[in-house]
Structure 1
Amino acid sequence: MSDQDADEAARTLPLRHSDDIQGDILAGFRKDHETVLLLRFPDDLAPVRNWLRRLIPHIATTRQVAAFNAEYSTARHTLAGTDPAALNATWVNVSLTYAGLRFLMDEEPFPDQQPEGVQAFVKGAFARAEINGDDGESAPGEWLFGRADQPVHAVLTVASDDQAKLEVRASQLRVAAARAGLTVTFEQVGATLPGERKGHEHFGFKDGVSQPGVRDFDRPDPRDPIHVHGKPGTRILPAGEFVVGHPKLTGEAPPLPEWTRNGSFQVVRRLAQDVPAWWAQAGAARRQLDKEGIELPPGTGTEWLAARAVGRWRSGASVAHNPNAEPPTKPGAPDDNLISYVDDPEGHTTPHFAHIRKTNPRDGIGGDFTNADTRRIIRRGIPYGQPFDPAAGTGHGPDADRGLVFIAYMADLAVQFEFLQQAWVNNVDFLQPETGNDPVIGKDTDVNLKLDTNPEGKKLHFAQFVRTEGTVYAFAPSLSTLRSLAG
């Protein structure tokens, strides 16, 4: 890139060049290997501030991560889709819980009247479990981390292209924390799945297909400026939906202290997945349709029913565009994301209960995208555990730990993440009465499958086979705020 091109990019996409916003919020780490460390502070403030002061030079900025990702994408395109082994980096991000912020500030972080999103942050995820549908086996008393009796003050996210380099950096961070008196209360290791499973979650579906674009960070398509260049259907939203202190889609955000500017609220969850059980019930539901004489497209099997539950086929191809069969994969083709639900109001093609429609109803509410756009979150999840494959030996069986390390960023915990969980994912009357909960990540439910051949619908039962095993609400401050906290 010439100096002139660089100057033009900095002028038109200023957030891409931010050295104040931490990496992974707007510019995702997008690494094959990741470790999340949950830390508890000691009682003495001085060593914690010294620890933070020494950590800050190692924290990735948006500028650094965005520049690397651009170089990596260019190299990968040159290599016809092969990962460039010579290009690798290791990134670090830090976030603080309410308890961590209050400890470092030595005073109340939010002294004025608190909007609902801040109240959620202050109370913590364990106190908001009912809102998020975390009960039964997902109740906070069963969690591995984030319980009321298990304080977390800081979250370190370490990500790398190289597993050995990740382990070295994680070890260095553990040692530095221990020297300052910090305790690692929980450590979660994640990695992309191997081979053809890369980019997919454990149920087998391509993950992260639908992410929002961000104004002043993502380059708009000159012919379709509401979407990201080269990514049809990826809508560009104001940065204030994800980063505090920036313009929002619908007016001004609730006033927050100046120190929150250029920071982002973060949700960290461990979601365990029972892969064989989920697929077994999808198969049972498909056989039930046959038994009851429901007319289905010829040649459809369990994959067809599972695709209805998700809203996509395993490859990421949408049911909206490919209702009866998964299309051949086209290397280099953009993600199938230019989707509208206006012509499918009854959910005969993409069911109202489908995971992608529940979490992003697009223009399916009121005929426009406003409702959906104000609820978007930026997701940075990565799988943990080995793929389900009993023939592969130890660690691959049905009882092995596996699931998703769910990490998300947003400007308001209540308006975005909690609303999604309560009003859409676990709302049986979403869009229409008796729609059912999300059959992928939602609570135990009956869903109502409607088809052109069966417009009244057919009830199918989906038990809950994604279990919450821990949740933490945190805030990823700007670099300038971190320096202030360390000072």
Structure 2
Amino acid sequence: MTTAAFLLLKIEHAGPARAWLQEILKGDLTTAEEIPREQRERRHACLNIAFTWHGLKALGLDEDALQSFPYEFRRGMAERAHVLGDTGPSAPEHWDFGGKRPGSPPPEDLHLLVMLYARNGDVLRNVLAHQRQRMAAQGLRELSCQHAAHLREEKDGQIFFREHFGFRDSLSQPVIRGFMRPPPSEDYDSPIAAGEFILGHENEYQEKPPSPSVSPRQDPHGRLGPAEHGNRKDLGLNGTYLALRKLEQDVEGFEAFLEQNKALAPIDSEDDAKKKEWLKAKLMGRWPNGAPLKPDQHEAPDLGSHPPSNAFGFVREDAGGLGCPVTSHVRRTNPRDSLAPNPDLSLKMNRRHRILRRAVAYGPSGEEDGKASSGRGLIFMALNANLGRQFEFIQQSWMNHEKAGRLFNERDPVASNHEGGSITLPIKPLRRCVMDLQSFVTMKGGGYFFLPGVKSLEFLAHLQPPAV
């Protein structure tokens, strides 16, 4: 699927909205059910839906069940801005949706996220028009719609996605044990327990993550299975939590910064493009073509028709960061084997803070109803079973922590807010320091969502609200 539309909806009438869910379940919803390959190849569009805490409340879920959801989800993304580093221009007061900007949809009105994917723009327009007509007739009001499309690159028969800064994207994803086949090429780590990403399954602690539940009296038809603890029914089984963020990229500012600091590159050449590519790679933590950074390497290797390798560790091959700097974006968001006190414990800890990351670009070429989209950036999505221990931990403790790797005043150089920060580039014989970093990515809106399993969605579609 190459194009997408993300619709944020408000449930104005719960009864018709539940009827709409019942219709979606009859065939429109895309599930994890295995289907023959020829049927998958004929599929032209996909649809998924997820709820905010306010949305579940608007649908009719009672207070007892609502309070069984985790604290972070109940509070919502805007109220967790201090944890996520969403300050300054990225603060909720400036968001297009889900924040506190006057005139924009506030968090309490964001109830439902509909994610539509299609093979091309024509298919997406047709599917979107059809779904809009149905939703408007069944108690759902559209608050926002963000169009997006993968920036595709094809080389020697291989298709890669890019993001607006020019890097290949989605190169490193965890393999879920028991649900996904390991990739044919060697990876740096073994498959990760399903419970890190899917509720109702054992996680890396060898226990099932906390799951929302309902009283048996709310499930008279027995659509839900028993909960792990107490006389309850499990609402979370095979579901997960989704953190969605609209991240606007300052492409012009990024290019201007590279131009201003290109002299830092240790390249004996007048080729400014190579110098800027070197600096760009050091900030991100990989070469733009996806190849991992290695010590004493001053330009990207030619990968030919081979995909970039993901079978590398930092301590094993680059303990001092001479290749991939300790505070680069890639090394911060996935430290692999580089955390103290040793590589084995680092990998174990790292496995407990992984997310399934999905991203699709939006940009000035995307248009809706004749109006050009504003800015360029990514619709970023993180799927995880524990918002606090996984998504929020990565944001707070790895990306935005200013003293990582025994350094000072250094955050993620690409994706964090900066007011004159820096990044240290270890180079022999003397390290170099890039000063006065600016913010290249600005948070423009987002929210926390519950993506239910099929049985839970059936329960919600037939929910009987308590009598008032």
TM over 0.5: yes
For residue 52 of structure 1, the aligned residue among 1, 17, 21 is 21
Q: 1:162 Cα deviation (Å)?
A: 2.3
Partner of 2:81: 129
Q: Quick check: 1:352–1:435 contact (8 Å CA) kept in 2?
A: no
Asked if structure 2 preserves the Cα contact closer than 8 Å seen for 1:234 and 1:337, the reply is: no
Q: Aligned with 1:276: secondary structure?
A: helix
Structure 1 position 40 matched with structure 2 position 15: no
Q: Relative to structure 1, is the Cα distance of residues 323 and 71 closer, same or farther in structure 2, using a 3 angstrom cutoff? A: farther
Q: Deviations over 1:419-477 (max 9, x none)?
A: 1111111111112222611111111121122223225x524332001110001100100
Contact map agreement 1:308 1:354 (CA 8 A) in 2? yes
Tell me the equivalent position of 2:90.
138
Q: 1:61 aligns to what?
A: 31
Structure 1 residue 297: Cα displacement: 4.5
The superposition leaves residues 194-216 of structure 1 with CA deviations (integer Å, 9 ceiling, x where unpaired) of 55595100000000001110111
Which residue matches 2:429?
Answer: 453
Provide, for residues 243-291 of structure 1, a one-character-per-residue CA deviation record: whole Å limited to 9, x for no partner: 111111123244323110100100111111110211211232232x37x
Distance in 1 (CA, whole Å) between partners of 2:153 and 2:300 is 20
- Letter paired with 1:428: E
Output aligned runs, 1:32-431, within 5 Å: 32-42=2-12, 44-57=13-26, 58-64=28-34, 68=37, 87-108=42-63, 110=65, 118-147=70-99, 149-150=106-107, 151-193=109-151, 199-220=161-182, 228-230=183-185, 232-233=187-188, 235-256=190-211, 257=213, 258-287=234-263, 289=264, 296-299=266-269, 301-320=275-294, 323-331=297-305, 333-343=306-316, 344-365=318-339, 366-368=342-344, 369-386=347-364, 401-431=375-405
Distance 2:39 2:307 in 1: 16
- Distance in 1 between the 2:39 and 2:429 partners? 47
Q: Secondary structure at the match of 1:232?
A: coil
Query: 1:310 and 1:251, CA in 2 relative to 1: closer, same or farther beyond 3 A?
Result: same
Contact 2:296 2:323 in 1 (8 A): no
Give 1:153 deviation, angstroms: 0.5
Secondary structure at 2:82's aligned position in 1?
Answer: coil
C-alpha distance 316-108 of structure 1, shift in aligned 2 (>3 A) = same
Structure 1 residues 48 and 438, CA gap change in structure 2 (3 angstroms): same
- 8 Å contact from structure 2 (residues 14, 60) kept in 1: no
SS at match of 2:294: coil
Q: Residues of 1 paired with 2:39 and 2:204: CA distance?
A: 27
Q: Secondary structure at the match of 2:168?
A: coil
The one-letter code of the counterpart of 1:230 is: S
Deviations 1:53-110 (A, max 9, x none): 112221111125x7559976xxxxxxxxxxxxxx552100000001111222431264
When normalised by structure 1's length, the TM-score is 0.80
Q: CA RMSD in A?
A: 2.5
How far off is 1:387 after superposition? 7.0
Distance 2:360 2:434 in 1: 33
TM-score relative to the length of structure 2: 0.83
AA aligned opposite 2:438: A
1:482 paired to 2:457: yes
Is 162-171 or 257-266 further displaced after alignment? Answer: 162-171
Letter matched to residue 56 of structure 2: L
In the alignment of these two chains, the number of paired residues is 415
1:468 aligns with one of 443, 451, 458: 443
Structure 1 residues 435, 156: CA separation in 2 closer, same or farther (over 3 Å shift)? same
**Structure 1, gaps ≥5 residues long:** 1-30, 73-86, 221-227, 291-295, 389-393
Q: Is the 8 A contact 1:211 1:234 kept in 2?
A: no
The match for 1:26 is: none
